[in-house]
Every structure is written in structure tokens, then in C-alpha cells.
Amino acid sequence: MTEALHWLEKAVLRSLYELGGAASYEELAAKAVSTVPGWGRDGVSMLSSVAKACGWLRDKGYVTVEEERSRKFVTLDAEGEEYVVKGLPERRVVEFLQRRGGEASIDEVKALERADVGLMWARRRGWVEFTKKNDATMVVLKGPVPPSTDVEDFLRELKRDGEVEVPDAGALREVVDELLRRRHVVKLVERPVRKVVLTEKGREAASLLEETVVPEVTRLTPELIRTGRWRELKLSRYDVRAPTPPVFAAKRHPLTELIRMVRQAYVEMGFEEIEGPIVELAFWNFDALFQPQDHPAREMQDTFYLLEPRAGDPPAQHVEAVRRVHENGGDTGSKGWRYKWSLEEARRLLLRTHTTATTIRHLATVKQPPVKVFCVDRIFRNEKVDWKHLAEFHQIEGIVVERDASLRMLMGVLRDFYSRLGLREIRFKPSYFPYTEPSMEVEVRLGGRWLELGGSGIFRPETTYPFGVKHPVLAWGLGLERLAMVIYGLEDIRTFHLNDLGWLRNVSPFQAFRTMRGM
Amino acid sequence: MPVVNIDVEKLRRLVGRNLTLEEISDNLAALGMSVEETGDILRVEYNPNRPDFSSVYGVAAALRSYLGIETGLRKRSYPLSGISVYVDKSVEDIRPHIVCAVVRNVELSEAELIEFIAMQEDLHWIIGRNRRKTAIGLHDISAISPPFTYKAVDMDEVRFVPLKDYRAMTPREVLSKSEIGRKHAWLLKDASKAPVIVDSRGQVFSMPPIVNASITELTPGRRDIFIDVTGTDWEKVNQALNILADAFADAGGAVQRVKVVYGRRAFYTPDTKPLEMTLDMELVQRLTGLQLSLREASKLLRRMGMEPRVQGKRLRVLYPRHRADILHPVDLVEDIAIAYGYNNMTPVAPQSNTYGSLRPQTTFYEKVAETMLGLGFTEVHNLMLTNEQTHYQMSGLDEIQHVTLANPATREYTMVRTSLIPSLLTTLANNTDNLYPQKIFELGDIIQLEPAAPEKTVRMKRLAAATAYAEAGYSEAKSVLDEVFKLLQLKPEYIPATMGTFIEGRCAALTIDGSQVGVVGEVSPAVLENFGIEMPVTIFEIEIDKLYKLQQLYRAE
């Protein structure tokens, strides 16, 4: 069985077979007109198609292509083109003299375009001669001038055919030689002549082919459809397995994908989304959360304080209550931290170190339960950045205020939250934060290991009482990037903001979903 | 989180049970510690509210009561040493407090000595805030003769050989010449006098909180030790001393009290009298969600090393003095919960019925992002932290007022961005090896200064998109913008504009009702060169929160 051949290959093979097994490209192109009905309306493109098909056939072993000799062709050059339109310069001299009654002064003739060349050739052909008349040199017509010469006929032929092969000898060869002597009239082109010869394999394949070949096209163009010409053609078969250039689906950032899943889980659980400032007052970020002013987390090496603007305005209505709770516990039943609280320190501006600053702000405005709010937003820590630490990342924040809120309920909410993300194994560990008591560390099992995902707890009375909230407040702030790293199988946390398109284009939007549901 | 290294064999011996590594690990986790590395020596992280976990002795004590081996408040009654320390008034303004103890006849191996020094350093950090609030000195008592005096002296008044040195120096010289002195000199940078402890012969053996004298240097062997803890916070110096004294007692030492005399007042330290707090059972039940009886709660508190006494419906809880983290009854509730075991509790669901919702802005921005995806742009995520060089100089933006950071740990982050354009250019610069065309967008925050706001700033949401490939040009960017605005049902005007980022004559400001909402342009080759990008780039940036407000406005009309 012969392998699948392109229709051009079939056409060449069949033509070659009919031409006796050996032919030039030109002969093949001429023959193909009959082999392929309806093809070859433009000879030039046929020749190149034949040459292309011969190349393919040679590679597959159906034909051999031999270079025989080179053939010479002439084509019109710039002045040749001009002569076809305006006539040869000598013809122009003669026609001028004929209009002037057979003679004119040399000066008049010299005014003609290309007069020198014209005069030289007219004299050489014996069409004119020079005479003296009253000291002036005159050009005079002499003898019969033929209406057209071989040279002129040849130029017209050349114009019509584009190129003409140069014969080895004969009259035509003399004409060509004359034109080659006259510069810029014609150009000589040498072209190798190739002979295509059927191999045994080719002969066998060709004998099995139909006598006629239906032309095929690769591209179905609008024009083919409009004119109905597609009916005469065959649409070629493709190698449907061949590799194709890549295209990339535009998509959300992997971190956003996870944030969207988190938001959805929260909304399903009846939580309302809130947002708060990124540039925050130390008051909300620390003081309102009962972090003593000398707490290590407040030091310069952990928190980004602002140089400009340096200080803001804490809410006057809350300042005194917060001061009291720090200094002596106020009316909360606490000992307080027992130091002198400074308003100046609370005025300092910083980049918030946790989204809990946003939830305590919200608590200050909404005092009555039930409250369930959340946010997923940026936080900042003044850290040296490396493969496992960022100075800017995200926190998953939430609070529940309910009459009967308890540690068990906090566990229930967190378990529900993570199970909605597909993470069903969760455990808790005692922890410490200045603003929650009891406090819990949350760990979730993913990819065969326990991941510490963040802190949670019940807000201390020292945190809630100054804002008039007397009910227990369940609160948590969980890491987003740590979870995302495991989901996307990353080793380096910086991947999330380096935005390597190589990664972004390859990561699947189904990845988060699949990993967490264990699919 | 602070870390303590624990010798497993020693821990087993101190606890009195041959616990497996897994049992140790689980029980430590239940107490809030986490084992980071296992082996013969465990590396254990603990919470900073429990400085008593800074030694194997404290951890073992907690485990013994947690496991029910020895519950309740441990009896710590230390006899008097007969040694006194006199506190001179001169320290009042520099470092007013001192408490001391003596440990007799304690056998310290080299490893144990290292353990105690590590513990001392941890306490310096956790309680002492790097020696500022409390600093601890451990001395071989054999070289000094009591009574001692704690006083402040002029910087050149006395001389002694500091630890790890051989030269006798004045306090001024210690701060400038000795290695340890230079390291801690900042602690006395505002002081005109130096606090020292001298013995009855006037010999200086400590210059707190900087360094001890070399004469009292501790070496391995059977020793008598004098401990001084000085500081600025009375409660914290006592906390540190008690934790140390208890650890030495558990290490086999005989701890004795020291009389500290402040003028006419005198104290005996370590003061081991327990502290007490009243706990309401209603609070316990409410916060834990556990219906515990008084008896059950009492039992749990004993397992946390406390002594509850029932008083009607309340508990009067006695707890060790070193538990300075207990400020409020809620702190006792946590101890009850820990003793109960967090993972022994059954989670329950909230009872209240609430309806979830996203912020309307979030929904709006999601629609905008969807539109950008539809237009073939992939979302990128950049940091808000940046520096002036990238943000202004390289990207050609005019410098405007922005948030600057006072103390960045890296020079890469000195300010907060005011535009997303440099972020997108950075992203393209990171991607010159990836296939083009590259079409990216970011929906992100910027910070602008706003003097009227309490935070003096306001965060704004921006949308920016960039297209980079050989054919990228203004008209394509404008087509995209036209489409975005068409879908937003808004009609912007394109006003010719000049910006350093963009090619002159190929940049427009977008306005709606005369107010600017964005910019678009072809990025200037000079800027592209700065970022090493060799493809034409167009960028637009829109103040998307303004468009959100406009939409609200039109809806209202």
C-alpha cells in the first residue's frame, strides 16, 4: 500500500509516468494541466508547485532529481522596456527625418532623446548619412528602411513572454548578442535545468494512480465559498496529530482563585464582608487590641511605621476607655498592664500587621449580636524577604459575636469553614495572643502534613469592653499564602508576586478546587 | 516564638515516667508547645506568655501536673540565707528594682551550666525585653563576701575586670572597650551613672544590666550561687527570679531567700507566696461551652499547677507567682480549657441566623475582572511595597506625595505605591523570557495621602492593564478601553496628555464629566530600556473605584 500522497505529488507522479518517467519541471507543469483538470490557470505558480512536489517526492524516494546543465534566458532590462514602448533610438531618428522630408541638421537631430545612440545605430544599419550643406552638417535618410527589424520583433516577443531562451547559434543568437552589446536593454539569466526521474517505487506508485487528479486546497477561503469553486476542489487532509503553536487562556491569579473560594465559603456561612484601612493607626492595630505599648510586636523591627505621614487621629470617644484598660484594667475586672499609656504612641501610623485591626474597628460600630463578618486582605510585617517569608501577604479574618459564643463554637465555625474548602481534618492547640483568651492555633491536614494556619480565640474583655461590646467575640486571623503554597505545590512564597507568566499560564484554575477536594 | 532545647532522658527522669517520644510530643502540644525537631534533644517552641517553659525543669513541672503525677500548687518554701542586699537610693532613677536568691550546693555539669545560661538569655528576651526590663546575674558566691550593696556610681568611680576580659575597667570603659559592654551599651545610653553591686569589701561583682565581673564567673562543679535580678518593673524581676530559683531547686540546689533592704522597708526574695484570683463558674461555662461542675473545674485547675478553693458558686484560685500572664479570670478559663484538652471538645455550630454578603464593590470589581478576562488579559498580583527608584525614576512617573516607611528592613521597600503602572512594568520585566504577546491586568490597591482622614491616607482601587508584543500600539489599547467603558455604560473623553512614562503624543488622560479617571499610552522606549523590555508596550490605568461611584450615581438618577 502506498503512503498517503499530497494531490500535488499525485499530479507530478502521474504526469511523470505519462511522460515516460523522466522530464523537466517545465515539461511536468505543461503535462499537469491535463492530468489535473481545472488547474494551471496561472503557469508561474504551477511551476513552483511542481518544484515543491518534486522535492517531497524525492524525500520519500519516489523520484530522483538530477541537475543536467544550465540554460540561459534573456529578459528585458530597463532600457529594453523603454524601447518596446518608444521604439529603438535609431527608429526614432529615422521617423524624425521622415517627418522632416528626409533631412535635418545635426543639431536638430541631437535634440532628440538618446540621439547619439540612435545616430550611431542608424548609420551602422545604413539608414542615414551625413552631408555638408552651407557649412552645416545635415543628416539625410538613405536607402529603404524596413518597417520592423529582427531586433524590434524580438523585443516585442520578450515583452510578451517575459523571458526567451538563448539558442546556441543562428539568427536569433545574433540578435541576442547585439542586444547584449547594447547595455541595459536585456539581461542574461542562467538557470539550472533539473531532470526528474521516476524510481522503481515511483513507477509502481504512479501506475496505481487514477488518470486524473483532483486538485486540493489547504485553506478554505471565503472566496472559494462565495464562488462555489470549492466544488471543483478537494480540501486537503491534515496531520491532525501535528504539534500546533501554543495559545493561553486568560485567567485569574491563583491567589485570587483561592480568595474567591474563601469568600464563597464565608458567604455560604452567613458572613458579611468588610474592609478597613491599610495604613492604620497604632491605636486600632495595637492599643484597641490590648497590646501593651512595650510589646515586642510593636517594635520597629517587626512593624512598618510610617515616616510620612507620621501620626493620625485616634477616635476621641474611645481613647479614655482604652487608656484605662491598659493602665489598670478599667471596669473589666482585669489587672491591666500597669504602665503609663501614651496617646502619642497610639497616634503613630503604620501598615497594619493584621486584619484584626479592621474587625475591632467594625466591633466599635456594631455592638449588638449577632455579628458575623469577614475580610481577606493584605497585611504587612517588616521582615527580610526570603523563600518562606514575605513582608506583605494576606490574612483570612473573621469574627462571630453571639450571646452563647464559646470556645466550642469557635472550633465549630473554623471546622465548618475549612470543610467548605474541602479540608476536613482540623485540630487546635493552645496559643497566645495579647487580645484573645482562650487562644488557639489552628492546624489543618493537607497533602499528608499538618499546616499551622493561624491564630484564633475569644477576644479578651480588655479588648471588647472599651467599645461597649459585652458579648463574647470569636475571632481568627488565618494565613492565605501558606495554604496556597501547598495547594499549588510551591516551595517559594515569592512565586505569588513574581507573576512568572510561564507559571501563570500553566497553573490550572481547577488546581485549588482539585487539591482541596482530594480529587 | 521562643525555643527551648530539651534533653529527652532528663525530661523523662524529671517527670518520673518513661514517656514515648510521641506521648511527649502530644502532651507538649496539648500544653501549647510544639516539637520542631526530635532526637535525643528536642527543639521545642513555646508561647512567650509562659517563660517558665524556658527550661526543661519548668516543662517537666508542667507535664507532671498535667499528667496527674503531682497536681496542684507546688510547695515552694525556701529558707533564709542570712544574706542581705542593701539598695541605695541612687539607683531609683536608673534601675530601681533588685531581687536576689542564693542556691547552695548545686552540682552543675558543663551541659547544665550551658542550659542555665541559655535559660537566662531566653528570660532576658521574653521577660526582660532584651535586658531592659529585667537582667539576670548568676555568680559564684565563693569569691565575694556579703552583705552586698546595689548602688549607682559615677562612670569613672570604680574599677573591675568584666567577664570574658582580663583588664580592670571603669564602667565608662566597660561600655566602650569590652565586647559585652559595647553590645549592651545602648541600655545605659541616657544614664549618667552606672548601677553596680558591690560586696562588703567594696569589690564590684556586677554592673547590671551590662555584665558581671570575672571574679564571680561560674564554672562546672558543685557550687554555691548568688542570683541577682535587676530591672525597671517590680513584677517582672520577681517573675524572672522565681522561675530561675524553681529551676535551680528542681536541679537539686538548695534555694535560700535573700533580704533586700530598701531604706526602712525590707523584702525576702524569692517571694513564693501564691497569687489568687476569684473565678466565676458562669464565666467558665460560657467561654468554654462546657457544662463543668465546680469539682470538675477544680480538678482541671490542679492539673495546671493551681490550687482552687470552692467559695459558694465561685472558685478562689491560688496560682504561682511566676504566672504573670494571668490578668483576668478569662486567663484561668484558658487553663481549664487546656487541661480539658482542646481536641477533646466537641465543636458546635453558631445558633444565630445571619445572611452572608459580599461588599457591593467586590461584586463590581469581579465584573470588571471578568471583562478583562474576556478581553484576553491574565490577572497578575503585585506588592504595594516598592521604592522610589522603581516607582518614579525607572517608570517615568512624576513623583507625588506618598507614604514612606520609617524603618524598612530592606532597601527594596521604602514606600507604598501610588500607581499600578510601575507594578505592571516590573511584571513585564520579569517575563522577557516568556512568549509574547503578553496581556496582563491587575486590580489592586494604592495609597494616597488624605489629610482629612484620621489615618491621613486613603486606599484606592485601581485597574491597570498592559499589552506587550511586536504590534502593541495605542489604538489597540484604546479599543480595549472603549470596550471596557462601553460595558460599564460610561463614556470617557480622551484628552491628549504628556507623561514621562509614555511617548509624547501617544498618551491620553481619560475624563468623565471633566474629572480624570485614568490614563492610557504607549510606553516610551526610554522607560522600556530601564526595565529591560524589548517589546512595544501599551498600558492603561483606571481609577476603578471612581467608576464604581459613578455607576452608583447613575443608578440613583
ipTM for the predicted complex comes to: 0.92
Is B363 at the interface with chain A, CB within 8 A? Answer: no
CB contact under 8 A, A501 and B440: yes
Chain A nearest-CA residue for B340: A430
Q: Which residues make Cβ contacts (< 8 Å) with residue B281, sequence separation at least 6? A: B292, B294, B297, B313, B314, B315
- Mean pLDDT, residues A18-36 taken together: 84
Residues A138 and A276 in one domain: no
pLDDT 10s digits, A297-343: 788 778 999 999 999 999 999 999 999 999 999 999 999 999 999 99
- Contact residues, chain A, for B338 at CB < 8 Å: 430, 438
- Looking at residue B557, its pLDDT comes to 58
Q: How many CB atoms lie within 10 A of CB A32?
A: 24
Residues A319 and A399 in one domain: yes
Quote the crossing angle between the two packed helices A43-60 and A25-35, to the nearest 10°: 100
The per-residue DSSP string of B289-309 comes to: -----HHHHHHHHHTTT-EEE
Choose one of A174, A202, A235: the last residue of a domain.
A235
Across the strands, what pairs with B193? Answer: B154
Choose one of A187, A216, A245: the last residue of a domain.
A187
Residues A173 and A227 in one domain: no
Give the amino acid at B144: I
Report percent pLDDT > 70 for chain B: 99
CB contact under 8 A, B337 and A407: yes
Edge-to-edge strands, sheet with B41-45: B3-7, B41-45, B34-37
- Mean pLDDT, residues B242-262 taken together: 95
Chain B nearest-CA residue for A500: B431
- Looking at residue A105, its pLDDT comes to 86
* Mean pLDDT of all residues belonging to chain A: 89
CB contact under 8 A, A312 and B454: yes
CA distances from A333 to A95, A164, A336, B307, B310 (A): 127, 113, 9, 21, 20
Sign of CA dihedral A51, A52, A55, A60: negative
Domain residues for the domain of A22 are 7-68+189-235
Residues A433 and A476 in one domain: yes
Residues A38 and A138 in one domain: no
- Of B281 and A518, the one with more pLDDT: B281
pLDDT at A212 over 80: no
- Mean pLDDT, residues B180-188 taken together: 88
pLDDT at B83 over 80: yes
Predicted confidence band at A40 (pLDDT cuts at 50, 70, 90)? low
- Of A160 and B459, the one with more pLDDT: B459
CA distance A218 to chain B (A): 27
- Looking at residue A517, its pLDDT comes to 63
Predicted confidence band at A518 (pLDDT cuts at 50, 70, 90)? low
Alpha-carbon span B350 to B362, nearest angstrom: 26
- Of B58 and A34, the one with more pLDDT: B58
pLDDT 10s digits, B293-324: 999 999 999 999 999 999 988 999 999 999 98
Give domain status of residue A241, yes or no. Answer: no
* Mean pLDDT of all residues belonging to chain B: 94
Which of B290, B354, B531 to mutate against chain A (most A CBs within 10 Å)? B354
Residues A228 and A267 in one domain: no
- Looking at residue A519, its pLDDT comes to 45
- Mean pLDDT, residues B517-543 taken together: 97
- Looking at residue B285, its pLDDT comes to 96
Give domain status of residue A334, yes or no. Answer: yes
Predicted confidence band at A67 (pLDDT cuts at 50, 70, 90)? confident
CB contact under 8 A, A458 and B330: yes
B 114-133 residues with CB < 8 A to A: 129, 133
B 280-299 residues with CB < 8 A to A: 286-290
Q: Which three cell numbers stand for residue B128?
A: 526582660
B215 close to B162: Cβ distance less than 8 angstroms: no
Domains and CATH numbers, chain B: 3-66 (3.30.56.10), 80-269 (3.50.40.10), 275-342 (3.30.56.10), 360-556 (3.30.930.10)
> Mean pLDDT lowest for which of A122-131, B412-421, B502-511?
A122-131
Residues A201 and A111 in one domain: no
Give domain status of residue A144, yes or no. Answer: yes
Residues A435 and A487 in one domain: yes
CA distance B181 to chain A (A): 22
Q: Which three cell numbers stand for residue B439?
A: 496581556
Residues A210 and A96 in one domain: no
CATH of the domain at A88: 1.10.10
pLDDT 10s digits, A350-386: 999 999 999 999 999 987 899 999 999 999 999 888 9
CATH of the domain at A455: 3.30.930.10
Alpha-carbon span A317 to A500, nearest angstrom: 48
In chain A, the largest separation of any two C-alpha atoms, in whole Å, equals 142
Residues A165 and A194 in one domain: no
Give domain status of residue A510, yes or no. Answer: yes
- Looking at residue B555, its pLDDT comes to 65
- Of B439 and A144, the one with more pLDDT: B439
Tally of domains in chain A? 3
List the single residue in A384, A411, A439 with the smallest CB-CB distance to B347.
Answer: A411
List the single residue in A268, A349, A412 with the smallest CB-CB distance to B347.
Answer: A412
List the single residue in B379, B409, B451 with the smallest CB-CB distance to A251.
Answer: B379
pLDDT at B136 over 80: yes
- Contact residues, chain B, for A310 at CB < 8 Å: 406
> Mean pLDDT lowest for which of A161-165, A357-361, B15-19, B504-508?
A161-165
Q: Is B501 helix (H, G, I), strand (E, B) or coil?
A: coil
- Looking at residue A42, its pLDDT comes to 54
- DSSP letter, residue B392: I
Which of A253, A433, A449 to mutate against chain B (most B CBs within 10 Å)? A253
Residues A381 and A482 in one domain: yes
Q: Is B168 exposed, middle or buried (0-12, 13-18, 19+ CB in 10 A)?
A: middle
pLDDT 10s digits, B98-120: 999 999 999 999 999 999 999 99
- Looking at residue A1, its pLDDT comes to 42
CATH of the domain at A228: 1.10.10.10
Give domain status of residue A248, yes or no. Answer: no
Give domain status of residue A1, yes or no. Answer: no
- Looking at residue B129, its pLDDT comes to 83
Give domain status of residue A240, yes or no. Answer: no
- Looking at residue B75, its pLDDT comes to 87
Per-residue three-class SS string for B138-206: EEEHHHCCCCEEEEEEECCCCCECECCCCCCECHHHHHHHCHHHHHHHHHHCCCCEEEEEECCCCCEEE
Choose one of A129, A156, A187: the last residue of a domain.
A187
Give domain status of residue A87, yes or no. Answer: yes
A 272-311 residues with CB < 8 A to B: 272-275, 277-281, 294, 296, 300-301, 304-311
- Looking at residue B429, its pLDDT comes to 97
Is B166 at the interface with chain A, CB within 8 A? Answer: no
CA distance A413 to chain B (A): 6
Residues A328 and A441 in one domain: yes
- Looking at residue A115, its pLDDT comes to 86
CB contact under 8 A, B350 and A402: yes
List the single residue in A304, A439, A501 with the smallest CB-CB distance to B408.
Answer: A304
Predicted confidence band at A41 (pLDDT cuts at 50, 70, 90)? low
